[in-house]
Amino acid sequence: MSFRDYEPVDLANAGFKIHQLESLEKDNIENAFAGYVDEVLGKINDGKEATVYLCRGGASTTAPLLAAKVFKARNFRNFSNDHSYRNFSKHKDRRMAKAMRGRSRKGEKAFHQDWVKSEWQNLTRLHEAGIRVPEPVALFPDGVLMEFIGNDAGPAPRLVNCKLTNQAAHTTASLLMRDIEKMLSIHMVHGDLSAYNILYHNDQPVIIDVPQAMDLRTTPDAWSIMHRDLGNLENCFRRLGTDISFMQLLDNY
Ligand SMILES: Nc1ncnc2c1ncn2[C@@H]1O[C@H](COP(=O)(O)OP(=O)(O)OP(=O)(O)O)[C@@H](O)[C@H]1O
Ligand SMILES: [Mg+2]
């Protein structure tokens, strides 16, 4: 397994804090990822759907630092994320699909595990296709361990928090275009692509947050979602002062 070298990046606009952890939470995460994680160093982000922790790698990995993305338990009543429901229909176990549709506790648990597994499988597929995503390291019941994108100074900033020169914006857009071409070649749509789900590290974009990614050939509304993703990228680069057509990539599919 090879990990990228860590080089210093300018975190001036990062907007990140490594939050302090309660000792119980720290112990829970260290136990949940035993072997792969020696120590939880802090919380990188506490979002609606997941918490991401910065961890020191343990004996089972050569990575010095890891990001642990731990998914929160699902509460169906508060959960209206359209693309997430797609999983119901594709579940192979019909009884489980029914439990999910009925929104029972068993269904919630199965849904949660499906979601964690989706992040892992999509990350693996994207990484194997040579797309810049964090390298997947290990799958656990509550979350996924992956390459930490950042360095000793902290996590890489999200693209939305970066001010790029015109040239850097062009280079970044070209790299993302190549990534999307590769995604199209494996028929994948990210499904939530925007400047919030792209980190900027060593002058390069790294795409994150992939549990909702889908197959263009088998997901009914995947094309409109792909259009939305590409539209988000065009808006993001327009804000950075660069007019780039990402939609043109679809002409070659
Ligand atoms: N591999 C990583 N290396 C460094 N930082 C990461 C990594 N993965 C995620 N992060 C940080 O954690 C944040 C949340 O991760 P992600 O987008 O995957 O989860 P999320 O469920 O969408 O969270 P949110 O609800 O806050 O958007 C990212 O915006 C990024 O700042
Ligand atoms: Mg996100």
Structure tokens at 47: 């979002």
Q: What is the pLDDT of residues 206-221, one digit of tens each?
A: 999 999 999 999 999 9
Provide residues with CB under 6 Å of ligand 1: 44-45, 47-50, 52, 67, 69, 134, 146-150, 155, 158, 197, 208-209
What is the gyration radius of the CA atoms in the chain, in angstroms?
18
Please check the confidence at residue 240 and state whether its pLDDT lies above 70.
yes
Structure tokens at 78: 């508060």
Query: What's the gap in Å between 162 CA and the centre of ligand 1?
Result: 16
Query: What's the gap in Å between 95 CA and the centre of ligand 1?
Result: 33
| 3-class DSSP state of 134 | coil
Instruction: DSSP letter for 82, please.
Output: G
The CATH topology of domain 155-252 is Transferase(Phosphotransferase); domain 1 (1.10.510)
Burial 99-133 (b: 16+ CB within 10 A, else e): bbeeeeeebbbbbbebbbebbbbbbbbbbeeebbb
Tell me which of 197 and 103 has the higher pLDDT: 197
Q: What is the pLDDT of residues 128-150, one digit of tens each?
A: 999 999 999 999 998 999 999 99
Q: Whose CA is nearest to atom 27 of ligand 1?
A: 47
**6, 40, 45: which to mutate for ligand 1, most atoms within 8 A of CB?**
45
Angle made by CA atoms 198, 71, 112, in degrees to the nearest 5: 120
Tell me which of 149 and 48 has the higher pLDDT: 149
Query: What's the gap in Å between 88 CA and the centre of ligand 2?
Result: 22
Instruction: DSSP letter for 247, please.
Output: G
Q: Whose CA is nearest to atom 10 of ligand 1?
A: 52
Structure tokens at 108: 């919630």
| Ligand 1 atom closest to the CA of 210, numbered from 1 | 18
pLDDT for the residue numbered 96: 65
Tell me which of 166 and 151 has the higher pLDDT: 166
C-alpha–C-alpha distance, residues 62 and 139, integer Å: 16
Share of the chain above pLDDT 70, in %: 80
C-alpha–C-alpha distance, residues 239 and 19, integer Å: 30
Q: Among candidates 128, 157, 151, which has minimal Cα distance to 5?
A: 151
| 3-class DSSP state of 87 | helix
**9, 209, 210, 212: which to mutate for ligand 1, most atoms within 8 A of CB?**
209
Query: What's the gap in Å between 107 CA and the centre of ligand 1?
Result: 26
Please check the confidence at residue 103 and state whether its pLDDT lies above 70.
no
When pLDDT is cut at 50, 70 and 90, the band that residue 66 belongs to is very high
**162, 208, 210, 232: which to mutate for ligand 1, most atoms within 8 A of CB?**
208
pLDDT for the residue numbered 76: 53
Q: Whose CA is nearest to atom 12 of ligand 1?
A: 45
When pLDDT is cut at 50, 70 and 90, the band that residue 68 belongs to is very high
Long-range contacts from 101-107, C-beta under 8 angstroms, 24+ separation: 103/76, 103/77, 107/76
pLDDT for the residue numbered 7: 42
Please check the confidence at residue 86 and state whether its pLDDT lies above 70.
no
Q: What is the mean pLDDT of residues 34-56?
A: 92
Q: What does the domain layout of the chain look like in residue ranges?
A: 155-252
Burial 64-98 (b: 16+ CB within 10 A, else e): ebbbbbbbeebebeeeeeebbebbbeebeeeebbe
When pLDDT is cut at 50, 70 and 90, the band that residue 21 belongs to is confident
